[in-house]
Amino acid sequence: MRFLKKYGEPCNKAYDDLRQELELLGFENTQGSVYVNHSKENTLTQVYKVINKLSQIEWFKKSVRDIRAFKVEGFSDFTEIMKS
């Protein structure tokens, strides 16, 4: 598999490379493999740009098992409530 040839094991560098690509397109890693875009630009356009970019990465295209997008209506941070 090209993925393992490029990154070997463990494959943490692969996740870092993907994170960098997504950040270039305005996405922020929130937890694990979840990314959020806070842009005012059309969200479907942003998702299309990501899918287009990731589909150009050969090892990713061959190894991805599931990729989904959803719209977050509100983003509430309850951290302070939990800590108090």
Count of domains for the chain: 1
- CATH classification of the domain holding 74: 3.30.70.240
Over residues 75-82, mean pLDDT:
87
Q: What would the pLDDT profile of 31-57 be if each residue is shown by its tens digit?
A: 888 999 888 778 888 899 999 999 998
Q: Which amino acid is at 24?
A: L
Domain that holds residue 19: 2-83
pTM for the whole thing? 0.70
Mean pLDDT of the chain: 83
Residue 9 pLDDT: 60
Q: Which whole-number Å values give the CA distances from 79 to 10, 32, 76, 83, 84, in the listed order?
A: 31, 18, 9, 6, 9
**Is the separation of the CB atoms in 54 and 60 below 8 Å?**
yes
Residue 53 pLDDT: 93
